[in-house]
């Protein structure tokens, strides 16, 4: 039985992963949801927090969304046997460093930062209705309550990318085509890949299905 370490986006909290964590535990797996506190202000803090959350045994790292960019650096820790990226951003294969957002997305975010260079919470970035992301109003309230306001500088600070990181045991679970480029990247490198029709927080809508897909993908790379 694998020990799964579920890593939420630094913009959100553990509520996005708790339903999947419950399903994995029901099937007999040990699960840790990495705690990312509100004091984080840089990608380095995220890497340190996730490494601090790793148990003293082999684990499968499961990062979601923006957490995917820091996962290769976390995975240099010898306790990480494999990584299952879930609708996650990925660094370029040959990059020596990466920022947490592209230049065009930084431009989008810059217009949203306040006078102190701090961004609003994630659900306030978008003009569209986010109701379909959540199974019910209670879940939405919980997720929104855990959101973090990060400084714009978080998205522009370079972070090292380990050499040949994509050759490590890895798999990719996509929710629809939000991360189409990352999905193509994973396929090109021969990673096991699965696609679920859904939205970016599909783990809230289909926790049992997502847990099952994460288990299956992990088994193919261990």
d(CA 169, CA 166): 8
**pLDDT of 35:** 79
pLDDT 10s digits, 14-25: 999 999 999 999
What is the helix (H) or strand (E) element at residue 159, kind and residue range? strand 159-160
d(CA 201, CA 183): 17
Two tokens, residue 211: 């847990």
What's the total number of domains in the chain? 1
Mean pLDDT of the chain: 95
d(CA 100, CA 102): 7
d(CA 192, CA 201): 21
Give mean pLDDT, residues 106-121. 97
Q: Is 42 exposed, middle or buried (0-12, 13-18, 19+ CB in 10 A)?
A: middle
SS3 83: strand
d(CA 35, CA 46): 10
Say if pTM beats, i.e. exceeds, 0.95. Answer: yes
Q: What is the percent of the chain where pLDDT is above 70?
A: 100
In the DSSP assignment, the letter for residue 25 is: H
Is the pLDDT score of 171 beyond 90? yes
SS3 183: helix
Beta bridge partners of 170: 83
Residues 146, 151, 152, 156: is their CA dihedral positive or negative?
negative
What is the helix (H) or strand (E) element at residue 66, kind and residue range? none
Domain of 59, in residue numbers:
3-221
In the DSSP assignment, the letter for residue 39 is: T
pLDDT 10s digits, 77-107: 999 999 999 999 999 878 899 999 999 999 9
pLDDT 10s digits, 31-73: 999 978 777 789 999 999 999 999 999 999 999 999 999 999 9
CATH number of the domain that residue 92 is part of: 3.40.50.1820
d(CA 17, CA 7): 8
């Amino acid at each position: 039985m694998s020990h799964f370490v579920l890593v939420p986006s630094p913009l959100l909290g553990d509520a996005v992963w708790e339903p999947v964590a419950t399903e994995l535990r029901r099937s007999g797996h040990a699960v840790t949801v990495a705690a990312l506190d509100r004091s984080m202000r840089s990608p380095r803090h995220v890497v340190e927090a996730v490494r601090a959350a790793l148990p003293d045994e082999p684990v499968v790292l499961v990062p979601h969304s923006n957490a995917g960019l820091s996962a290769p650096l976390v995975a240099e820790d010898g306790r990480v046997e494999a990584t299952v990226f879930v609708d996650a951003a990925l660094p370029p294969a040959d990059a020596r460093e990466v920022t947490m957002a592209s230049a065009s997305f930084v431009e989008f975010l810059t217009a949203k930062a306040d006078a102190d260079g701090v961004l609003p919470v994630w659900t306030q970035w978008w003009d569209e209705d986010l109701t379909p992301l959540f199974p019910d109003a209670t879940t939405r309230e919980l997720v929104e309550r855990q959101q973090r306001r990060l400084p714009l500088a978080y998205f522009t600070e370079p972070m090292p990318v380990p050499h040949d990181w994509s050759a490590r045991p890895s798999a990719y679970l996509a929710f629809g085509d939000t991360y189409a480029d990352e999905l193509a990247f994973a396929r090109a490198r021969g990673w096991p890949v699965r696609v679920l029709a859904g939205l970016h927080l599909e783990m809230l809508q289909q926790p049992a299905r997502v847990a099952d897909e994460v288990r299956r993908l992990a088994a193919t790379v261990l």
